Chain A
């Protein structure tokens, strides 16, 4: 089965500025890809090319096998795009606003009305349906923009900073919605500076800097590639005078240790960890906990962009 999003050598040049340079990646159906990178890295330009609103200078991109440059109208039916700024018509009421965009997507009137109601109910905006959009709070406006992008039930959603300006409750609603969409087979490209969001939602992460793809992979893979093997820690219930090294096999390398704890790397935790626990039990040492020390995506990101 071909990937739902596919790019090869995708390049965009404005005058002398190369905004996106030779981008090649794929996203399978139902996956979430997080696009990370500093401001001006080329994320928005990439999304605009994938949305068929900017033409690539070189290379190609396909959405569901449709070329973004050759079949722009078809591609724009397949995608929904939450832009960086909500960009609502502030004198309109929510249902009129959604009806307008539904009509532009050629949805039948009954369907666009039903869909608008369903999404507004889901995002808890139904009670505000008679208010003008100009009276909405920042978070409500962002939710309205998200509903607009989701209205025609697109196969691919491009979300540019979807939870910016939202309170924690609304942000969680949006994250849950994204997770729900993925669960229903939608493919999502998420541009965000929120690394927690990226790590918790994305199957793959693409890091772009100066228009070039500098890293691509799952969060786990990126951590492994850039930060090395994960660090495990054994913490004891009581201090112990036993030597640590004899209890470990050849796969483990001690990072640091004291009478209360041991930190080590291992290529095969499934072998090393049970072995260590057995050894400690055999020596009558009580273990408080054995954990993999958490490593944030932020460390990976900073290492990449710096």
Chain B
């Protein structure tokens, strides 16, 4: 596999090196820009040292290394779009597809060809900058920070190239691919800004976390790329026209299926969807349990101070007095509709965010809610059995409906977000996404929303009565 991949890589790198439009800017960014950055660093250091701000140079140098390293790798995106979709546009890809090379080798070969020249330029740029820095002010930054930045730069190049492949698989022209590339450039720009903040702040440990996140993104994008960059997908897509009518028809077909009668929905579709989505359901339940246990653990490790928990203790006489004086209206009034709207809005909002994060953000409300719940339940052990009864009365009646509904909504949103990563063989990422969205909508409309409405009604009308009954005793 690697042998064939390297044949492709060698040819493509030679081709890239013959293109002055790519080579000229890379050379400028590799040799001239580090020198300019060096001058700027010297100037900045001299300036801030006048004010005894010695920490600034320490933070400025890693930032400068990051910028010097990143600029050349930004070309990897251009090269990747050119090598993946440009070849398709110039019809030079099909002769390659006719050779015995495997899809994976072809993908790997092109991936390396897109990454290696800009990465080499990036490393060279960093080296030129550091050598210049040593020569001019005899400053050597911490090697671990430099290693972090070089690794992050490498991972960023891989993210851009592997994302470019995913973008390329949805287009047939370089022009269209360039337009879609903003989906790669904007998140990378935001990431770079976040990274800059942490570098200036000196929070270098966060860079490891960023590196980990980039690695995960690389794995996901490469997996998607390998799925989409194959002979079948490449040749099946001749035009990248948005056919709204066909998209809607396909969505309708997935959503309506054989019909939308109550018997069919609740007797056939819902059980089938539950069976088919066992993996996202299991994942969500696991996340829920983990978040709950996490909250409990934190509460165990960090108990609230006694003086803080005192405020939760209610004097029985005072409570009885309040109960009589308010005619039983001691608890704050809650309405069904606001609760229902709030819950629905959260689940739908995070489901949409899940679409742009391979499903990962869809689980966020469950993680935060269950984490907080676990923490609160953990703290209640300090308040005694009364608090336990109160919590059970306040949460269990509507919780036994709301929690399964939220798990269902989260699981189907998770699947929708993840659907573009790994469409089944013979199914495009778009079709898979439409299918997953149709399933999510069906489950949301016919199961989740009715359940949330019922839960909100119980929470607003029945739970308070139960709480009062418990409190009176």
How many B residues are at the interface, by size bracket? 20 to 34
How many A residues are at the interface, by size bracket? 20 to 34
Q: What are the residues of chain B within 8 A of A85 when measuring CB–CB?
A: 91, 94
Q: Are B7 and A91 within 8 A (Cβ)? A: no
Given the known A-B contacts A51-B98, A104-B100, are A89 and B92 also in contact in the complex, defined by CB atoms under 8 Å? yes
Of A74-82, A163-171, A224-232, which binds chain B? A74-82
Q: Are A87 and B15 within 8 A (Cβ)? A: no
- Distance between B369 CB and nearest chain A CB, rounded to angstroms: 41
Q: What are the residues of chain A within 8 A of B102 when measuring CB–CB?
A: 73
- Distance between A102 CB and nearest chain B CB, rounded to angstroms: 10
The B-contacting residues of A in range 97-115, CB under 8 angstroms, are: 100-101, 103-106
Cross-chain pair count, CB within 8 angstroms: 66
**Residue B235 at the chain A interface, CB threshold 8 Å:** yes
**Residue A259 at the chain B interface, CB threshold 8 Å:** no
- Distance between B356 CB and nearest chain A CB, rounded to angstroms: 26
Q: Are A54 and B231 within 8 A (Cβ)? A: yes
- Distance between A105 CB and nearest chain B CB, rounded to angstroms: 6
Q: Are A53 and B100 within 8 A (Cβ)? A: no
| Secondary structure call for the B interface | helix
Considering the complex, give the chain B residue whose CB is closest to the CB of A14: B236
Given the known A-B contacts A55-B232, A79-B98, A89-B15, are A103 and B92 also in contact in the complex, defined by CB atoms under 8 Å? no
**Residue A83 at the chain B interface, CB threshold 8 Å:** yes
Q: What are the residues of chain B within 8 A of A148 when measuring CB–CB?
A: 95
- Distance between B285 CB and nearest chain A CB, rounded to angstroms: 36
**Residue B268 at the chain A interface, CB threshold 8 Å:** no
Q: Are A53 and B98 within 8 A (Cβ)? A: yes
Q: What are the residues of chain B within 8 A of A55 when measuring CB–CB?
A: 232
Assembly CA distance A48 to B98 (angstroms) = 9
The B-contacting residues of A in range 46-88, CB under 8 angstroms, are: 48, 51, 53-55, 73-74, 76-77, 79-81, 83-88
Assembly CA distance A156 to B92 (angstroms) = 21
User: Within the complex, which residue of A54, A76, A100, A145 is in contact with B100, where a contact is CB–CB below 8 Å?
Assistant: A76
Given the known A-B contacts A48-B235, A53-B235, A92-B15, are A104 and B99 also in contact in the complex, defined by CB atoms under 8 Å? yes
The B-contacting residues of A in range 270-289, CB under 8 angstroms, are: none
Considering the complex, give the chain A residue whose CB is closest to the CB of B95: A87
Given the known A-B contacts A53-B231, A91-B18, A103-B7, are A145 and B98 also in contact in the complex, defined by CB atoms under 8 Å? no
Assembly CA distance A92 to B96 (angstroms) = 15
User: Within the complex, which residue of B94, B97, B100, B232 is in contact with A105, where a contact is CB–CB below 8 Å?
Assistant: B100
Q: What are the residues of chain B within 8 A of A149 when measuring CB–CB?
A: 98
Given the known A-B contacts A83-B91, A104-B4, are A53 and B18 also in contact in the complex, defined by CB atoms under 8 Å? no
Q: What are the residues of chain A within 8 A of B131 when measuring CB–CB?
A: none
User: Within the complex, which residue of A15, A54, A84, A105 is in contact with B99, where a contact is CB–CB below 8 Å?
Assistant: A105
Q: What are the residues of chain B within 8 A of A104 when measuring CB–CB?
A: 4, 7, 96, 99-101
Q: What are the residues of chain A within 8 A of B236 when measuring CB–CB?
A: 14, 54
Considering the complex, give the chain B residue whose CB is closest to the CB of A160: B94
Q: What are the residues of chain B within 8 A of A15 when measuring CB–CB?
A: 246
Q: Are A101 and B95 within 8 A (Cβ)? A: yes
Assembly CA distance A190 to B15 (angstroms) = 32
Q: What are the residues of chain A within 8 A of B100 when measuring CB–CB?
A: 73-74, 76-77, 104-106
User: Within the complex, which residue of B7, B90, B98 is in contact with A76, where a contact is CB–CB below 8 Å?
Assistant: B98
Assembly CA distance A2 to B97 (angstroms) = 27
Nearest 7 A/B pairs, CB to CB: A85-B91, A87-B92, A87-B91, A104-B99, A81-B98, A73-B100, A76-B100
Other A-B contacts than A89-B92, A92-B11, 15 sampled, CB-CB below 8 A, are: A48-B235, A53-B97, A54-B231, A54-B232, A76-B99, A77-B100, A80-B98, A83-B98, A84-B91, A85-B91, A89-B15, A92-B15, A101-B95, A104-B96, A149-B98
